[in-house]
Amino acid sequence: MPFVSNQGLRWYEFDLFQGEKGLIHGVFTRQGGISPEPWDGLNMATSVGDSRDRVIENRRRILNAMGLQDRGFFDVWQVHGRDVLLAERPRMDGEGHQKADGMVTQQDHLALLMLFADCVPVILFDPVRNVVGMAHAGWQGTVKKVPAAAVEQMEHRFGSRPENLLAGIGPSICPGHYQVGSEVIEHVAQAFGDDSLLTNRQDGKGHLDLWEANRRTLLECGLSEYHIQVSGICTLENPVDWYSHRGEGGNTGRFGAVAAIRQGL
């Protein structure tokens, strides 16, 4: 059962992480929040025109649903880069966001939060060292290999070994719906050395497989293919559950991917 419902909210959990008592995680659908159209309803972003108060209430609902109501989120200003931050405490109300597209933590019950609407959420868990990481990979983060930067931070800061890591590649735009132009195609060819990630090539355009690209990056890092799960859920095809930047013409909200470590088991 990949979907879980609680208190009117509905979220996706990776089968790969079931039974991992040290990890709390979920990729939240848009159901159960209070935001009106075009952000209806569980919008996580204040940068898209929705009111701050509504986003705060939506965020509170996620913490409640996950049993993290006494804790806060660590979130960042996502800029399609490769920087990965160490999260040590929740971001306080009114405190500015640092720019980054990845984060890692070993802090007990500190909820990492990243925002998505077609870009790829990658959740990384080390059950040996009890470390969690997350990355945000649109096409830019994908060609910059931001998931690899998150793996590197887990290795350097916590002694994680790639072969122990589990990775979930979450709901995001599928290859069939993700047509890109020549500039993107060039970057993909440079980053991955061939163009097998691109299909339906014509007139300088092609369809990019973000899921396989990020899976390949994780394999290059040394993760086992048996330790990587691709959800295979397309955000553009499921507007009841997900926000889609492309599907909704840029006028939409952002859903939240959340992950926290449960220490001391």
Site size for Zn ion (CB under 5 A): 5
Residue with tokens 């909820």: 111
Which of 119, 174, 218, 258 is in the footprint of Zn ion by CB under 5 A? Answer: 174
Q: How far is the CB of 260 from Zn ion (least distance, A)?
A: 29
Taking alpha carbons only, the member of 225, 81, 77, 75 closest to residue 146 is 81
Contact string (CB under 5 A) for Zn ion, positions 113-132, x = contact: --------------------
Task: Strands of the chain (E only): list them.
Answer: 3-6, 9-12, 23-28, 73-74, 84-86, 102-105, 111-116, 120-126, 131-137, 166-169, 179-180, 198-202, 205-208, 228-230, 255-261
For residue 196, the one-letter residue type is S
Residue at shortest CB range from Zn ion: 234
- Is residue 238 part of the contact set for Zn ion (CB under 5 A)? no
Q: For residue 177, give every residue at least 6 positions away whose Cβ sits within 8 Å of its Cβ, in sequence order, or none.
A: 234, 236, 237, 246, 247
- Phi, psi (rounded to 5 degrees) for 152: -60, -40
The span from the CA of 98 to the CA of 262, in Å, is: 25
Stretch that binds Zn ion, among 39-47, 137-145, 223-231, 237-245 (CB under 5 A): 237-245
Is the CB of 22 or the CB of 206 nearer to Zn ion?
Answer: 206
Shortest distance, position 92 Cβ to Zn ion, whole Å: 38
DSSP string, 82-123: --EEEP-SPPPTTPPPPB-SEEEE-SBT-EEEEEESSSEEEE
**At closest approach, how far in Å is the CB of 177 from Zn ion?**
4
CB of 247 to Zn ion, least distance (A): 9
Between residues 172 and 229, which has the closer beta carbon with respect to Zn ion? 172
In the list 237, 238, 246, 262, the residue contacting Zn ion (rule: CB under 5 A) is 237
Q: How far is the CB of 234 from Zn ion (least distance, A)?
A: 3
Nearer to Zn ion by Cβ, of 168 and 175: the residue is 175
Cis before 81 (ω within 30): no
* Residue from 109, 157, 177, 205 in contact with Zn ion (CB under 5 A): 177
3-class DSSP state of 180: strand
Stretch that binds Zn ion, among 78-86, 162-170, 174-182, 186-194 (CB under 5 A): 174-182
**In whole angstroms, what is the distance from residue 158 CA to residue 35 CA?**
39
Binding track, positions 205-234, relative to Zn ion; x by CB under 5 A? -----------------------------x
The binding site for Zn ion (CB under 5 A) comprises: 174, 177, 234, 236-237
